[in-house]
Amino acid sequence: MLRNITALLLSVFIFSYHLDVQAGTLRGQVTDSKTGETLIGVNVFIDGTSTGTATDLDGYYSIEGLDAGTYTLVFSYISYTTYTVTDIELGANETKVIDVLLSELTTELTTVIITARQVDNNATAILTQQKKSINVQDGISAQEIARFGSSDAGESMKKVTGASLVDGKYVYVRGLGDRYSNTQLNGQNLPSTDPYRNSTQLDIIPANLLDNIVTAKTFTPDQPGNFTGGNVNITTKSFPDKFTLGISASAGFNDQSSFQSDFIGMSRGKLDWLGFDDGGRDLPEVLADEDTRPNFIQSFYLTARTNDSLAALLDEGSKAINPNMTPISYTSPVNHGLSFSVGNEFKIRERPLGFILGLNYKRDYTLYTDGTSAQRQLIQFDGPGLNNNFNLTDINGVENPQVGGLLNLAYKVTDNNEIGFNMLYNHDASISAREQYGKYPSVISNSDAIFETRTLSFRERQLTSLQLTGKHVIAKAKDIRIEWSAGQVYSNQLEPDLRFFANSVVGDTSFYINPSEYPQPYHFWRYLNDDQTLGKLDIFIPFLTEKDKGNKIKLGGFYSSKNRDFTEDRWQVVARDGESYNGNPDDYFGPANTGVIGYDDVLNRYIIGNYIVDRTVGGNSYGGNETIIAGYGMFIYQLTPLLKFIGGARAEYTDISVSSADTSKEAGQIQVTDFLPSVNLIYALNENSNLRASFSQTIARPNLRELAPFFSFEFIGGETYLGNPDLERTNITNYDLRWELFPKPGELIALSAYYKTFINPIIKVYNPTATNPEIQFKNVDEAIVYGLEFEFRKNLSFISQKLEKFSFGTNLSLIQSRVDLDSLELAVNQSLNPSFSESRPFQGQSPYLVNANLNYFHPDLGLDVTASFNVFGPRLTEVSQAGTPDIYEQPAPALDLFIKKDFAENYSVRIGGKNLLNSKLLKTIEYKDVEYTVQSYTVGRTYSITLSYNIQ
């Protein structure tokens, strides 16, 4: 199979390369300088000749078959100033891109003549889009993503104004968590692969497949109504204007995890290096079989020990479970990765077909051996401090393999009709082993005992997105434009054979497992599958085009149907008449101590050692459906030459239903129609400066897991979650104000302010009436969030011309929020702690976010150097129980440095250092001016090198 794949890639490369061997080409895109919209039908011709063409429905043009030489291009369009670009140097077999902005015709200006050097400005594309957008938005381009050394979409988002990343994968925009953000891929909604989250885990999308990420921060009716913080649209690479080929290989050394002989992991399968389980972790067939499974109950040993066939079944089932319950050690390699991409455009029936194919593979390792994990609790308000429930040393090793790819195609059927196909596939795994040991006085009755626990986890995620798109312009109907897309998204998260094993030890020789104090060894199998069908239609109807440019009515609709299936199997290893635990897990869980281990001739029955018991709870599996049907209408109208109005409304019908496999449990359901208005005003202070104001109403929905009424936990001592079928959706009102200045291409100074109110926000609360600590999802009455954002991007030549190759960028966010506490939770908390606040901030919200970067770019030397800094303020990570103050994650300043150097022809090398400060990742509780550590660890510094070969 590998030979066939290699042959296929080689064929694509050779075919694409030969298609590119042709005469020179001039191509580009023509855009209205005022509205930012592409222009259809612009006449583009070479001065002094009859050679030319007209722009298509996306404003693109292409003049092919040109000999090497110097050319002058003329752009002519009715009611617009004629635009002439001179001194275009075109080499043999070269494709040169000339993008231009056309301005409306005035009596003072009828013709503009510039040189080609002045329009070669692709690095400013994102800021140009931001300047012309109808809503407040921020973005990051592929060039910036590469400069910052981001490895995935999540790391890239950390550099966006007002955005922060939690747990390395969940984006928080303007202090609001994933519930209040929406994630799209090429304009198509993406589901989450995490049952506890609403939006996609952004670390699943590799950075080398990205073209840009644009985050809309104000709502317009053509966007999904379920975002308040940001609508994050991830755009993958589109097909290039000419033949391109990219190959890169990378290696990274981490000073904590690379070449460590004591790196801990779990027993390996043949395909672990790719992130796939080879079936070795599947639930054994004898346990999954519907005919034999009912036998594996607590009392099975009673019948099996006197029945030959049942004894054989108990023995087979118990020995079928993987006996490895503790981490193994091996020597970890360096982080490494490979990527490949090829793209081109060629003709089919004289019409252009463009494509890009990208593939990537990477494998990273993380290890910490000096971690701390603790739990604190307030027992007595007038006491000396917080009680120590447990305080454990924490060791964790994680291996992350990832494979993925994309294929994008676009075919221009005519100048006014285009069909496209986009496919993205990504698969990754987190293979982890965790050991914790220390004092656990709240559970272990023997004060001299040390508690030991291990967790072995193999978690794989997969995302497949298929999308068919169309763009059409009806020239005979005043250039009405129609855009549509239809897609299917498949995502899943699989956790085969998640294992927990805990014991106690006194001294060096006295080991025991006490099921009265903590659970006996467990195996879990968890499977989540989401299938989502999507459809979208947008219709642009220009009006009053002769009087004002850019006026249009926009109508459209949206459909989404997502089906989820989640199953959980629990199996427990129960001790019977075998050997007691002696500190050697291999002996205790080995075949000599498992299942039937002998025969008692006196009692005439089999001797049963450890045996497996089915502890699956029907209510812990659930199925659900979420259907969203929406329609919208909006106006884009130039009220005056300086003032633009964008307004309208969106109607969204929501139907969410979720039911447990345990039919006695209450089903969760939400059926509601929301009308969501939006008004945006843009006042052009001058050609390079805008003042924006926005008002809108949006919603936030609970996810299917939050509605499902069952318990789940991640590890011993961790949080236990309980869903709530009575949850309601949240209504939000948004106010935004923004001033922005674009001094020069690629430069920006912006100041934004926002204020948001929430009715029925959904929060996590501790259930004070539960026997054991548990987190439940609830609606509370009200919440607010407000903040300021400042962004500055500037070339430093304004200080001194000697600094013209330096540029500096920074963004700062100041955020405040307040969420009312649940009345029952507040009453219990204040009964134990009278000073407990009546409100708390949104979970994950930082009071400040700071990004800064300094770039040195010397094109003649092919040298590009970027240093970047990021820090977030203290943020609430977990709510606490019964009067205990909440847990906060403390700031962890991060400094990265990357240096790229081009050499020879088409080659480059990039060296870099990430997390150079190696700040401690710290979670704490503060009580009576004392800071208590809840979790602490470091992940080490990573030094990397990437070699690349590119044909562009």
The tens digit of pLDDT for each residue in 707-743 reads 887 776 654 445 677 888 889 999 999 999 999 998 8
pLDDT tens-place string over residues 376-422 = 888 877 778 888 889 999 999 999 999 998 899 999 898 889 999 99
Residues of the chain with CATH 2.170.130.10: 125-242
Q: What is the pLDDT of residues 441-453, one digit of tens each?
A: 988 989 899 999 9
DSSP class of residue 861 equals T
Over residues 808-830, the pLDDT tens digits come to 999 999 999 999 887 877 887 78
Q: How far is CA 189 from CA 177, 234, 488, in A?
A: 17, 10, 10
* Geometric angle at alpha carbon 862, from 856 and 864, rounded to 5°: 30
For 505-542, b where at least 16 C-beta lie within 10 A, e where not — what string?
A: beeeeebebeeebbebbbbbbbbbbbebebbbbbbbbb
Separation CA 700–CA 225 (nearest Å): 8
Measure the CA–CA gap between 817 and 324, rounded to whole angstroms: 47
Cα 407-413-415 angle, rounded to 5 deg: 115
Task: Let me know: does 75 contact 44? Beta carbons within 8 Å.
Answer: yes
pLDDT band, residue 9 (cuts 50/70/90): very low
Confidence of residue 172 (pLDDT cuts 50, 70, 90): confident
pLDDT of residue 433: 97
Residue 13 has pLDDT above 50, yes or no: no
Where in the sequence of the chain do the CATH 2.60.40.1120 domains occur? 2-120
Best CA proximity match to 266, nearest among 392, 493, 435, 394: 435
Which phi and psi angles does 763 have, rounded to 5°?
-135, 165
The mean pLDDT of 420-436, rounded to a whole number, is 93
End-to-end CA distance of the chain: 30
| Cα–Cα dist 544/474, whole Å | 17
Question: What pLDDT, in 10s, does the model give residues 558-586?
Answer: 999 999 999 999 999 999 998 889 999 99
**Count of CB atoms situated within 10 Å of the CB of 400:** 17
Residue from 466, 462, 467 nearest 530 by CA: 462
How far is the CA of 467 from the CAs of 191, 236, 241, 475, in angstroms?
14, 12, 22, 26
How far is residue 580's CA from residue 635's CA, in Å, rounded to a whole number?
Answer: 75
8 A C-beta contact, residue 174 and residue 230: yes
Q: List, for residues 37-90, the tens digit of each pLDDT value.
A: 788 888 898 988 878 888 887 788 888 888 888 899 999 887 788 888 988 888
Q: Give the per-residue pLDDT at 133.
A: 84
Contacts of 666-669 spanning 24+ positions with Cβ under 8 A: 666/709, 666/725, 666/726, 667/725, 668/624, 668/707, 668/708, 668/709, 668/723, 668/724, 668/725, 668/726, 668/727, 669/707, 669/725
d(C-alpha 196, C-alpha 177), whole Å: 12
The mean pLDDT value of the chain amounts to: 86
DSSP letters for 529-557: EEEEEEEEEEEEEE-STTTSTT-EEEEEE
Residues 466-487, mean pLDDT to the nearest whole number: 90
Element (H, E) at 372: strand 351-377
Give the whole-angstrom CA distance, residue 930 versus residue 67.
76
pLDDT surpasses 90 at 235: no
Task: Look at the chain and count its residues.
Answer: 952
Compute the Cα dihedral for 601, 602, 606, 607 and give only its sign: negative
CA quadruple 135, 140, 141, 142: dihedral sign: negative
Cα torsion through 240, 241, 244, 250, rounded to 10: -40
Percent of the chain scored above 70 by pLDDT? 91
DSSP symbols for 508-525: TTEEE--TTTSPPPEEEE
Stronger pLDDT, 624 or 35, i.e. the higher one: 624
Q: What is the pLDDT of residues 294-306, one digit of tens each?
A: 999 999 999 999 9
* E strand or H helix at 310: helix 308-320
Give the distance, in angstroms, between the CA of residue 177 and the centroid of all CA atoms in the same chain.
12
Q: What pLDDT does 533 receive? A: 96
The answer to whether residues 734 and 228 touch, using CB atoms and an 8 Å cutoff, is: yes
Separation between Cα atoms, residue 283 and residue 612, nearest integer Å:
12
Tokens of 696: 């809108």
Residue 122: partners with Cβ closer than 8 Å, 6 or more residues away: 97, 99
The CA–CA distances, whole Å, from 518 to 314, 443, 461, 513, 514 equal: 25, 7, 30, 8, 7
Mean pLDDT of 102-122: 54
Is the confidence at residue 10, as pLDDT, over 80? no
C-alpha span between 355 and 359 (Å, rounded): 14
User: What is the fold of 2-120?
Assistant: Immunoglobulin-like (2.60.40)
Token readout for 24 is: 């020179």
Could you tell me which of 444, 534, 457, 526 has the C-alpha nearest to residue 492?
526
> What is d(CA 448, CA 867) in angstroms, rounded to the nearest whole number?
50
> Phi, psi (5° rounding) for residue 154?
-65, -50
The answer to whether residue 769 scores a pLDDT higher than 70 is no
Residue 28: enclosing H or E segment and its boundaries?
strand 24-32
Query: 779 with 758: CB under 8 angstroms?
Result: no
CA 425/CA 417 separation, integer angstroms: 27
Q: State residue 110's pLDDT score.
A: 55
Give residue-wise pLDDT tens across range 155-165.
777 778 877 77
CA distance 682 to 686: 12
- CA 89/CA 42 separation, integer angstroms: 22
Per-residue confidence (pLDDT) for residue 261, from 0 to 100: 94
Q: Write down the pLDDT at residue 117.
A: 42
pLDDT for 714: 52
* CATH code for residues 125-242: 2.170.130.10
Q: Which residues contact 331 (CB under 8 A, 6 or more apart)?
A: 259, 260, 261, 263
The confidence band for 215, taking pLDDT boundaries of 50, 70 and 90, is: confident
pLDDT at 113: 57
Tell me the pLDDT tens digit for each residue of 299-347.
999 999 999 999 999 999 999 999 999 999 999 999 999 999 898 888 8
3-state secondary structure 616-633: CCHHHCEEEEEEEEEEEE
Counting Cα atoms < 13 Å in the Cβ hemisphere of 518 gives 23
Alpha-carbon distance values, 607 to 314, 323, 580, 613, 614 (Å): 12, 19, 14, 17, 20
Radius of gyration of the chain (CA): 31
For the ranges 76-80, 542-546, 783-787, 803-807, the lowest mean pLDDT is seen at 542-546
Instruction: Tell me the sheet residues that pair with 918.
Output: none
Which of the pair, 197 or 294, is modelled with greater confidence?
A: 294
Q: How confident is the model at residue 8 (pLDDT cuts 50, 70, 90)?
A: very low
pLDDT score, position 153 = 75
Taking alpha carbons only, the member of 223, 239, 35 closest to residue 129 is 35
925, 931 contact by CB (below 8 A):
yes
- Decide if pLDDT at 885 tops 90: no
Find the angle CA(662)-CA(666)-CA(667) to the nearest 5 degrees: 90
pTM recorded for the entire structure: 0.85
pLDDT score of 2: 41
Task: Please state which of the ranges 208-212, 489-493, 629-633 shows the lowest mean pLDDT.
Answer: 208-212
What is the C-alpha to C-alpha distance for residues 265 and 397, in angstroms, rounded to an integer? 6
Residue 313: phi and psi, rounded to 5, are: -65, -45
Cα atoms found within 13 Å of the Cα of residue 864, Cβ hemisphere only = 15
The 10s digit of each residue's pLDDT in 253-275 is: 999 999 999 999 998 899 999 99
